[in-house]
Amino acid sequence: MKVVIMGCGRVGAQLAEQLDAAGHSVIILDMNSYSFRRLPPTYKGKAIVGNGIDMEALKRAGIESAEVFVAVTQGDNRNIMAAQIAKRMFNVPRVICRIYDPLRQELFQTMGLEAISPTTIFADLLRKRIES
Amino acid sequence: MYIIIIGGGRVGYYLSKALLNEGHEILLIEKNPAVCDTINDELGSVCLRGDGCEVSTLNEAGTSRADMLVAVTADDEDNLVACQLAKYKFKVPHTIARTRNPKNEELFKKLGIDVTISSTNIILEHITEEVPTHPVTHLMEIRDRGLEIVEVRVPADCPSVGRTVKDIILPTGSMLSLIVRKSQKPVVPTAATILMADDQIIAVTTSQTEEALRAALMGE
C-alpha cells in the first residue's frame, strides 16, 4: 500500500518504520527536516520537508495516488484540516487522524473523519489498570 | 446581532471596535491573557480569554445563541476548525473565516464555511481592476452555480476587431452578455454584432473556461 504520513514525531516515525519494514511504500512529511532523525537508517521510504496543510506540498508527497493518509502532527487543528484536505480534495480512500481533544474528536468523527483520541484511549487504559 | 470573533489580533480588534460602534453585541475570544486585558481596557469587557477551537470556551461564550462567528486568527487551520465547530456543533447560521493561503478558499467552501476571505486575493483583485492592460477582470462570482461574471477589454491590435460575434468560437459554458462602448449605449450582442476596438465585453463564464474565453476573444 502507498501510505502518506504527516508529522514525523515519535508516533509518525514509528509508524513509518513499521509500515516500511512490512513492505509498504511510505512517504513521511514534516515541516522540519530535523524530525527525520527519528527514522532508522534502515528506512527505505521517502522523507519530504513540507507543510501538510498546503495542497502543493501534499501533491509533492504524492497524495494523489496514496491509498492511506495519516495525520499525526502535534496540532489537533492541523491534523483535522489535513485530513479533510486528503479526503475532500484528493479523495484518498482511507484517512486517519489524531485529535487529542476528545470533544473535537467526537464531533469530527460524527462528521465522517476517522479520528482517534489518544487522550481517551490512554485514560481508559489507566483506569482499567487501576481498577483491575 | 450577537457576533463572536475569534482572534484578538489587529483584524479582530478593529473588527470588534467597528461592530460595537454599529450597536452589535460582540464577544472576542483571545488566547493571550495580556492581549485580552488590553482589549478589555480599551473596548470595555468584550474579550474572553480562551481557545476558540475548544468546545468548553465556545460553550462559555454562549455560541449556540450567536448569529455569526468570525474567525480571524493568523492560522488557517484554527480558523477552519473554529468555524466548523460553530457551524456543526453550535448551529451558528453564519460563519466567516480568514485564510492566509488563497488556495484554501475552495477547500473552506467545500467544508461548509459560509464566507472565506483571503486578503491576498482581495489585494490581487484590486490590482487587476486598477491595471488596465490585464484583459480579464473579475466582476462578480455566482458561487452556488460555479459561474463568474468577467469583463474583457478588446485591445485595438486584437485580431477579433472587425469580426462578428458568430465568428468567435466560445468555450462551452461561456456567454457574452453585454458590450459597453465609448459614448454609446451598451448593446446586447447578437450573432451579427461586430466587435470594435476598446469594447468592454461583459461575459458569463466558469473558472475552468475563463482562460479559453480570453483566448477566443483575443483571437489567439
Confidence band of B129 (pLDDT split at 50, 70, 90): low
Q: What is the pLDDT of residue A35?
A: 96
Contact flag B107-A101 (C-beta cutoff 8 Å): no
Contact flag B88-A107 (C-beta cutoff 8 Å): yes
Q: Which amino acid is at B46?
A: V
Q: What is the pLDDT of residue B131?
A: 62
Lowest mean pLDDT among A3-7, A78-82, B32-36, B186-190: B186-190
Radius of gyration of chain A (CA): 15
Contact flag A89-B107 (C-beta cutoff 8 Å): yes
The DSSP code for B164 is: B
Interface size between A and B, measured as CB pairs under 8 A: 53
**What CATH number should be reported for the domain holding residue A32?**
3.40.50.720
Q: What is the pLDDT of residue A36?
A: 96
* For chain B, domain boundaries: 2-119, 129-217
When CB atoms are compared, the residue of B78, B89, B106 closest to A107 is B89
User: Grid coordinates representing A112?
Assistant: 465522517
Q: What is the pLDDT of residue B134?
A: 58
B95-101 own/partner pairs: CB under 8 Å, 24+ apart? B95/B68, B95/B69, B95/B70, B95/B71, B96/B68, B96/B69, B96/B70, B96/B71, B97/B70, B97/B71, B98/B11, B98/B71, B98/B72, B98/B73, B100/B74, B100/B75, B100/B76, B101/A54, B101/B76
Task: Check whether B133 has a pLDDT greater than 80.
Answer: no
Q: What is the pLDDT of residue A125?
A: 96
Range of the domain at A105: 2-131
Homologous superfamily assigned to B129-217: Regulator of K+ conductance, C-terminal domain (3.30.70.1450)
Mean predicted lDDT score pLDDT of chain B: 89
Q: What is the pLDDT of residue B219?
A: 73
Q: What is the pLDDT of residue B128?
A: 67
Average pLDDT, stretch B117-143? 75
Task: Check whether A103 has a pLDDT greater than 90.
Answer: yes
Instruction: Measure the CA–CA gap between A88 and A112, rounded to whole angstroms.
Output: 11
Min CA distance, A97 vs chain B (Å)?
14
Chain A residues in contact with B80 by the CB 8 A cut-off are 77, 80-81, 84
Min CA distance, A20 vs chain B (Å)?
30
More reliable by pLDDT, B76 or B184:
B76
Instruction: Measure the CA–CA gap between B205 and B141, rounded to whole angstroms.
Output: 10
Residue A46 sits at the chain B interface (C-beta within 8 Å):
no
When CB atoms are compared, the residue of B54, B80, B106 closest to A81 is B80
Torsion-angle region of residue B176: left (phi > 0), alpha (psi -120 to 50) or beta?
A: beta
What does DSSP say about strands A114-116 and B136-142: parallel, antiparallel, or unpaired? unpaired
Q: What is the pLDDT of residue A61?
A: 94
Q: Read off the pLDDT of residues B165-210 as tens digits, 9 standing for 90 and up.
A: 888 888 888 899 999 988 788 889 988 898 888 888 999 998 888 8
Q: Read off the pLDDT of residues A45-75 as tens digits, 9 standing for 90 and up.
A: 999 999 999 999 999 999 999 999 999 999 9
Task: Check whether B132 has a pLDDT greater than 80.
Answer: no
User: Grid coordinates representing B71?
Assistant: 474567525
Q: What is the pLDDT of residue B29?
A: 97
Average pLDDT, stretch A14-43? 96
Q: What is the pLDDT of residue B35?
A: 95
Lowest mean pLDDT among A90-94, B28-32, B127-131: B127-131
Q: How many domains does the structure of chain A reveal?
A: 1
With respect to CATH, is domain B2-119 assigned 3.40.50.720?
Answer: yes
